[in-house]
Copies of this chain bind each other. A is one copy, B any other.
Amino acid sequence: MIITNPFDSDLNGDKLREECGIFGIWGAEGTAAAMVALGLHALQHRGQEAAGITSWDGTMFHTHRAMGHVAGNFDRDDVIRALPGDAACGHVRYSTTGETALRNVQPLFAELYSGGFAVSHNGNISNAAKLRNELVRRGSIFQSTSDTETIIHLVAMSSYRTLLDRFIDALKQLEGAYSLVCMTPEGMLICRDPLGIRPLVMGRLGESYIFASETVALDVCGAEFIRHIDPGELVIVSDKGLRSIRPFAEVPPRPCVFEHVYFSRPDSIVDGSSVYSVRKAIGAQLAIEDPVEADIVIPVPDSGVPAAIGYAQQSGIPFELGIIRSHYVGRTFIQPGDKVRHLGVKLKHNANRALIKGKRIILIDDSIVRGTTSVKIVQMMRDAGATEVHMRIASPPTRHSCYYGVDTPERAKLLAAQMTVQEMARHIDADSLAFVSVDGMYKALGESGRKESCPQYCDACFTGDYPTRLTDQEDVAPADQLSLLAERVPA
């Protein structure tokens, strides 16, 4: 089977990757799984490696998980028919913790003493390893290597009496980022961590409630967007209706700024702002902060397009398609044969030579991670006859790893952690290179700038300012294990 991750080659190969998208619906009158499938398809950009749906038909839970895309797996009538019921939750994933195996694909499900319990989780628990070690010592047997399973065992092992108390007991032991949709026979539990690091929205379609990572998942179902789930909020939906509680002490929220810069779809509304508008505004900000004389503005497709339009409108330099993207990007073409592999061929993108030849160009991209594709794309422009290549990046330099559910390379591989901007310009062979400033990015988000004392967003990947403790990054003492051959105590 060919792995079809659109991110692992060509111009998009050098991006940070969001790791999960989640979706839940309650009260859908028989169409729950089909609606989840639609929603997950709209969230596919948040995780292309695997997907899963669990439904509840009033008597039984039904689960289907598959490696690969939602389309091709969850658009088959036989699959959807095997997921009956009015309630369902689902998940798309790119692995963070946990090897990529079917048993790690969410929703995770367990038969607890309270009945079935399904969990869809976006984020990353930064003390999961420590919690797991303690649970195994107490007799828990883990089915997966996913950090999410820790949450379920904490619920199962809690000494509280009601399920809701057990759930809150579990949440309070967690550290890190989590947006959760949990399904039980009696209702759904929807929750966002106290800092609100990962997004979560609520919508309504007829009598049913929908919860999803982004508003585009509501759009695809024809649902109405109601509001965001607040940081630290826990919503309980059942046939008796919806209620909201706040089990945590309140802290200033720190939602992830990279959702605006790259992860979320441009047609989503995240925390009240149009992603497309924010990206255009960052492009315009770049034109103000780092202007340059040139003939045409060219986006690196597709994620650089809104910022390029913003840059072109602000600067008055024409916007043109200088890089043509193949229609078939959903499928990665693995270059066959060693001889061919090293030709440096351009499979997904091709220079529009007739346009570029003899021109001074401004290239707009959203970020630089390892810098590998920036090198290739500048080269592609020069090969096509560009006389000057100026690169403008619609985010600040990415200098730190993320521990909250985003796949980042280790720090040593982040170009901006190793070089100054001038060194980077030389490295990628650009005539000039500029990043939007941190304050410029905050301005595009409608702020006057970053509040240093109490930043409005989690921007740790740019600043290194992590909003939580990172327990599992600290040293863990090895556990003393039981031995088979140790002296036997007579029974």
Query: Hey, which bits of chain A sit against chain B, CB under 8 A?
Result: 2, 4, 6, 30-31, 33-35, 37-38, 41-42, 44-45, 48, 69-72, 74-77, 79-81, 110-115, 136-143, 152-153, 156-158, 160-166, 168-169, 172, 184-187, 189, 216, 219-222, 236, 238, 240, 247, 265-267, 269, 274, 276-277, 302, 305-306, 309, 313, 318-321, 324-337, 339-340, 343-347, 350-355, 479, 481-489, 491
Contacts and interface: CB of A to CB of B under 8 A. Distances in A.
B44 A161 contact: no
Contacts of A70: 333
Nearest to A136: B113
B327 A328 contact: no
A240 B345 contact: no
In the A-B complex, the 8 residue pairs with the closest CB atoms: A330-B330, A274-B354, A114-B482, A80-B336, A71-B333, A71-B331, A267-B324, A139-B157
Contacts of A189: 484
A39 to B, nearest CB: 10
Contact of A172 (B34, B168, B491): B491
Contact of A141 (B153, B163, B313, B344): B153
A127 to B, nearest CB: 19
Contact of A164 (B77, B309, B346, B488): B488
Contact of A481 (B45, B115, B236, B485): B115
B38 A75 contact: no
Nearest to A205: B343
24 contacts: A4-B330, A33-B336, A37-B336, A38-B347, A41-B326, A44-B326, A48-B328, A71-B334, A75-B335, A110-B141, A113-B137, A139-B158, A141-B143, A163-B484, A163-B486, A166-B482, A219-B346, A238-B484, A269-B354, A274-B352, A276-B352, A309-B319, A309-B321, A330-B331
Contacts of A38: 333, 335, 340, 345, 347
A277 B353 CA distance: 11
A61 B218 CA distance: 44
B355 A274 contact: yes
A128 to B, nearest CB: 15
Contacts of A152: 141
A76 B3 CA distance: 11
Contacts of A326: 41-42, 44-45, 265
B141 A139 contact: no
B491 A31 contact: no
A5 B303 CA distance: 24
A178 to B, nearest CB: 17
A325 B329 CA distance: 12
Contacts of A111: 136, 141-142
Given A35-B340, A141-B143, A489 B335 contact: no
Nearest to A132: B111
